[in-house]
Structure 1
């Protein structure tokens, strides 16, 4: 993974990144399509050093990622300037499991699916036959925490 070059003074540690991604609920996913960039909000799970996304397979995002798996994802928080913090993850996504997901046993998905269900659906894992899983193992992580700025 590439090391963060700029803003290292306010960068989060690996532990802080893990904690931040475990607590925040929404990310913004940027893909590249034939008409240019496309950004959409999604729920996610951070599990095993990877960002797990579930996407409708009949969506512009899915079509973009099947054509070009490169993605940038941002998770951020804070209102006031001195509260702002976030993480940008870049890399290539890969499909895990069946497309669309119907519930066939996929050991790799047990952890992310349960984490996702605990976070968003009261613990019940649902397979609606419309979504499929994408895994992003980041090639680069950039983070910032303005709370670390000198007073």
Structure 2
């Protein structure tokens, strides 16, 4: 369970707003830690199942290697251009590796729901196409902060 947001309660999204926002967004920015503790940020497609963020990552990527070494990560999903339109969420915790790596489609009941969500959202397909180069990461946030500046009073 994520920790409660202490600041910005006025612009914080409700649970329903957050679920809807994360369901509609396609791309997040994933922050990992390099060998000397330097941050590394990369964009990645994701799906949200109401409990966890699911990320389908290349297993031969710097991001994957960094998470294998240190599974701590932070993710930002945001939207909007003008100040009064800005909204987003920051989720952080520990990455969990789920299923085989790389993923070839072997049965894994834990992946049935996220793969169906991902295939529909990103590929407009009924089932996940496995390429043998990607694998699944799950982030169940330990902390979560959200904002929706559309809730601010406008002059």
What's the counterpart of residue 27 of structure 1?
A: 28
TM-score, with length taken from structure 2: 0.95
Gapped runs of 5+ residues in structure 1? Answer: none
Do 2:28 and 2:45's aligned partners in 1 also have CA atoms closer than 8 Å? yes
C-alpha distance in 2 between matches for 1:4 and 1:48: 17
Q: Report the RMSD for the aligned CA atoms in angstroms.
A: 0.8
Equivalent of residue 141 in structure 1, options 137, 144, 155: 144
Q: Which residue is equivalent to 1:79?
A: 81
Distance 1:46 1:68 in 2: 23
Is 1:93 equivalent to 2:105 in the alignment?
no
SS of equivalent residue, structure 1 residue 58: coil
- Structure 2's unaligned 5+ residue stretches are none
CA distance in 1, matches of 2:18, 2:124: 25
Structure 2 equivalent of residue 115 of structure 1: 117
Q: Could you tell me which residue of structure 2 aligns to residue 52 of structure 1?
A: 54
TM-score by length of 1: 0.97
Question: Residues 76 and 88 of structure 2 are in contact (CA less than 8 Å); yes or no, is this contact kept in structure 1?
Answer: yes
What's the offset of the Cα at 1:125?
1.2
Listed one character per residue, the Cα deviations across residues 76-134 of structure 1 (whole Å, up to 9, x for unaligned) are 00011100000000000100000110100000101100110001112141111111000
Partner in structure 2 of residue 42 of structure 1: 44
Compare 13-22 and 119-128 and name the one that shifted more. Answer: 119-128
